[in-house]
Structure formats: C-alpha cells, structure tokens
Structure 1
Amino acid sequence: MSANPGNRLQKWNPTPPDRGAFPLDHYGDCKEHMQKYLNCMKLVRNENAPNCRQLAKDYLACRMDHELMERVDWKDLGLPEDERDSKK
C-alpha cells in the first residue's frame, strides 16, 4: 500500500518557524549556560526561582551574542532588566 496515492509527486514548501523557534547551538557556544539553567530548574523542581531567572537571562544573552536568536528586549521576554544590564 502506498502512502502517496497515484505516486504523484508534490512540491514541498517549507515555512519559516514561529516566533520562539531558533537555530540549534551546533557548536555548543552556550552549552555551559544552558546546563547551569537546567540544573537550577531541576534543583528547584521547576519552580519560578529568581536565581534561575538570572541563569535564563545569561543563557538568552549568550544566544543573542552568538546570533543564535534575534536580539530582543528583556521586557519582551518576560524578564526584568536589572542594574547590571543598564550599565552595558
């Protein structure tokens, strides 16, 4: 039984990803930041802990610095800007 009735070839048109989807970190540029964040989330059992939010900001900042995601304001990501960010 054929999955393509009539063996008709159809052109596949890929669509761009929705907002929030971004390239994989193939070279591991931000792997250390990601591991720290995931370990924190595991430690606090996925609770919304302030120290994990800071690690999330560090991870996302690394991704933005390495052009693995579009540069976005922290307020648009739901993360408050702190005094350390405003000094940059």
Structure 2
Amino acid sequence: MSANPGNSLKALSPTPPERGSFPLDHDGDCTKQMQEYLSCIKLVKGENAPNCRLLAKEYLKCRMDNKLMDRDDWKHLGLPSDKKEANDVTKETTPTSGQ
C-alpha cells in the first residue's frame, strides 16, 4: 500500500530553495567570520542584535567573495549597505551617557 494516494510522483517532487544552493565551505575560507558571528549570536542569546548583524554581513561578504553564494544587494539581505547605515546600526547598540 502506498503512503501517497494516487501514487503521484509530482506530489513527491522536492522544490529547490528560492535563492539557490548554499554550498558548504569545504576549504574553511569563511570559518573565522562564521565563528565570530555564531559567538555573537550565542552571547546575545539569539536576539537580532545590530552588532551581530554587522558580523553576519562580514560572513556573507566572505561567502560572496569566495563564490560560495551569489552576490546580492545588502538591502535584499536586510543588512546595511554603506558606512553611514552601519554607523547608524552601531549607534543603536552604543549606550549614551546619562542613561
């Protein structure tokens, strides 16, 4: 007895990810950036902290530079695209005096 009523192969066909594959970093080109990002995420207990997002940007930049992922605009990845935006993100996490 088949677990798939009608035994349709079409229903069992996997769908590829929207943005394509995400190859493994077999040569360890981006291991340092990945470890820094994961350490940050662990430190902030999984919160979407702006300083961790900057580390994520460095990691993704490394992957793009090493052709481990397709290039994409930072805005499509939800990350700051220039130094001004990066400075704005950093200011959000920097405590101000008197608070």
State the TM-score, normalized to the length of structure 2: 0.65
What amino acid is the match of 1:25? D
Q: Distance in 2 between matches of 1:20 and 1:48?
A: 24
Structure 1 counterpart of 2:63, which letter? R
Aligned runs of 1:40-79 on 2, under 5 Å?
40-79=40-79
Q: Which ranges of structure 1 fall in alignment gaps of 5 or more residues?
A: 1-14
Deviation digits for residues 28-50 of structure 1 (CA, Å, limit 9, x no counterpart): 00000000000000000011111
Percentage of matched positions with identical amino acids: 65
RMSD of aligned C-alpha atoms? Answer: 2.3
Aligned positions, number: 72
Q: Mind listing any 5+ residue stretches in structure 2 that lack a counterpart? A: 1-13, 86-99
Q: Deviations over 1:7-56 (max 9, x none)?
A: xxxxxxxx784126310000000000000000000000011111100000
Residues 77, 20 of structure 1: alpha-carbon distance in 2 compared, 3 angstrom cutoff:
farther
Structure 2 CA distance for aligned equivalents of residues 26 and 16 of structure 1: 25
